[in-house]
Amino acid sequence: MFVMRSTVCLLVYLLVAVWTPQTKAGARTPFFDLTQYNDWPQFEDYVKGVAHDNPSFVQLKTIGRSREGRPLLGVRIGKPAPAGRRKIAVWLDGGNHAREWPAFHVAVYFIEKLVNGYLVDDKITKYVNTLDIYVFPVLNPDGFVYSRTSTRATIRQWRKNRAPENCTGTGPFSSDLCCEGVDLNRNYDIGFSHNNYPFNNPCSDEFQGPRPFSEPESRAVRDFVMSSEIYGRLYALVSMHTHGQLWILPYNYHKRTYPQDFKDLETLANRAADRVFAYRETKYRVGTAADMLGTATGGATDWIKKNTPTKYVYVLELPPDMKTWFAFQVKPHWLIPIGKETWLGIEVIFDQVIEETKNFQPTSEPSSNGTVDSRSPRFRQL
């Protein structure tokens, strides 16, 4: 009898285990396979699902729509603030370059870490209780979808969004060429000029667009960082790209041009990069991309640093390093190791943000009608 009962129990247990393969111990997230590259619908379902399944601390955020109408999706992970208080916010994103698939996946890894670690891991619990953590895995869904449609290099290695063709392009021996797409990371209003070669060429991979913020994807980010929801309380932002193992500081629209608190940004970046290195010796170079590689105008993070009080603003060029040419998509078995090591650097940033802002009250609740005055104040020390 006893034997039979335990056999039945075991059977039931096995059946349940087989029927719900995605339920890991403590997992609160829908299944997302980080051992392979996923398509846009998997990202969309995941982001919506994780918010739907965890309403007490995860909220779905749609900050706008792409050219082709796809939602620019993310989540806010954080326990609601006590009445009358505003939490400090931080932002992680998978960038705006179509082919940089590992960055999108690492952003999902971060969501996994935060959501499944809440009330399980003390450090994560502290982050979720103390901060509002915004995560936007894919800020260029149209380009991403396009880059997945073919292995042909011109498609697989697509970088821009899917803006309609512009026929003022030039090539080595020709002019009036028609090319599609705008580089969303050249489209922000910082250092933008019609004379910026090659960013003024529609056939360049880095076409800046006809004017600053010509693209709905960059306007959506601009409008959200300026919105009463996060302006005045966003304290750190990390935008992930591939590749090069570079920890990029502002500013990049001009060489040897730095924000006044550059030393603080650099010190923290060095500490975070050291922490990443300790995991499996992935070595990041820290500095501005302008100084390390060359200037790039119209960058998202440059614009955010210049136009908002957000202090720690970084771009991470994830592995592999620069020696490998055109290695935007590492073999997918690297996604989890890269997620793990990068997360260790993110923890260094979050710890610093919490330490540095513990005596800060983010600017008072902005007026609900969202007037411009609600955005002028900066962080105020109590």
Ligand X SMILES: *[C@@H]1O[C@H](CO)[C@@H](O)[C@H](O)[C@H]1NC(C)=O
Residue numbers annotated as active site? 317
Could you tell me how many residues of this chain bind ligand X (CB under 6 A)? 8
> Which of the ranges 36-44, 227-235, 239-247, 252-260 carries the binding residues for Zn ion, by CB under 5 A?
239-247
Neighbours of 205 (CB within 10 A): 17
Instruction: Examine residue 371 and tell whether it contacts ligand X (CB under 6 A).
Output: yes
DSSP bridge partners of 249: 288
Which partner from the list Zn ion, ligand X, none does 241 bind, CB cut-off 5 to 8 Å by kind?
Answer: Zn ion
Residues 262-291 that bind ligand X (CB under 6 A): none
Residue 241 in the binding site for Zn ion (CB under 5 A): yes
- Tokens, residue 183: 């580089």
Which of the listed partners (Zn ion, ligand X, none) does 168 bind, with a CB threshold of 5 to 8 Å by partner kind?
Answer: ligand X
Residue 39, exposed/middle/buried by CB under 10 A (0-12, 13-18, 19+)? Answer: exposed
In this complex, which beta carbon is closest to Zn ion, that of residue 87 or of residue 97? Answer: 97
Residue 302 CA to residue 138 CA, distance in Å, equals: 19
CA distance 286 to 48: 35
Q: Which residues pair with 134 in a beta bridge?
A: 76, 91
Closer CB to Zn ion, residue 241 or residue 305? 241
Q: Kindly state whether residue 193 participates in binding ligand X, applying the rule CB under 6 A.
A: no
Which position among 76, 97, 99, 105 is part of the footprint of Zn ion (CB under 5 A)? 97
**Are 287 and 314 contacting, i.e. CB atoms less than 8 angstroms apart?**
no
**Cα–Cα distance for residue pair 370/86, rounded to 1 Å:** 16
Is position 324 an interface residue for ligand X (rule: CB under 6 A)? no
Draw the binding track, 194-223, toward ligand X (x: CB under 6 A; -: no contact).
------x-x-------x-------------
- From the list 22-30, 208-216, 238-246, 335-343, the region that binds Zn ion by CB under 5 A is 238-246
Contact call for residue 243 and Zn ion (CB under 5 A): no
Pairing label, strands 131-136, 71-77: antiparallel
Residue 369's binding partner among Zn ion, ligand X, none (Cβ under 5 to 8 angstroms by kind) is ligand X
Q: How many residues bind Zn ion (CB under 5 A)?
A: 3
Between 100 and 142, name the residue whose CB sits nearer to Zn ion.
Answer: 100
Single residue of 42, 129, 168, 307 touching ligand X by CB under 6 A: 168
User: 281: alpha, beta or left, given left = phi > 0 and alpha = psi -120 to 50?
Assistant: left
Segments in 71-215 forming alpha helices (H): 101-117, 122-130, 141-147, 153-156
Q: Which positions from 88 through 107 interact with ligand X, judged by CB under 6 A?
A: none
What is the SS3 assignment for 51?
helix
At 267, list the tokens.
Answer: 């010190």
Among 63-71, 296-304, 350-358, 366-374, the segment contacting ligand X (CB under 6 A): 366-374
Please, what is the minimum distance in Å from the beta carbon of residue 378 to ligand X? 19
CB of 248 to ligand X, least distance (A): 25
Return the one option of Zn ion, ligand X, none that residue 183 interacts with (CB less than 5 to 8 A, by type): none
Query: Residues for the chain: how many in total?
Result: 382
Q: Which is nearer to Zn ion, 97 or 186 (CB)?
A: 97
DSSP conformation letters of 217-229: HHHHHHHHHTSTT
Output 89 or 289, the one with its CB closest to Zn ion. Answer: 289
* Half-sphere exposure in the Cβ direction for 33 (13 Å, CA): 11
Question: Pick from 204, 229, 226: which is nearest to 213 by CA?
Answer: 226
How far apart, in Å, are the Cα atoms of 329 and each of 6, 68, 107, 240, 314? 48, 24, 15, 13, 21
Q: Which does residue 367 touch among Zn ion, ligand X, none (CB within 5 to 8 A, set by kind)?
A: ligand X
97 binds, among Zn ion, ligand X, none (CB under 5 to 8 A by kind): Zn ion
Cα gap 173→161, rounded to integer Å: 25
Give 34's DSSP letter.
T
**Looking at 38, 166, 252, 357, which residue binds ligand X (CB under 6 A)?**
166
In the complex, least distance from residue 197 CB atom to ligand X, rounded to whole angstroms:
11
Peptide linkage before 251 cis (omega within 30 of 0): yes
| Least distance from ligand X to the Cβ atom of residue 166, Å | 4
* Binding residues for ligand X (CB under 6 A): 166, 168, 200, 202, 210, 367, 369, 371
Residues that bind Zn ion (CB under 5 A): 97, 100, 241
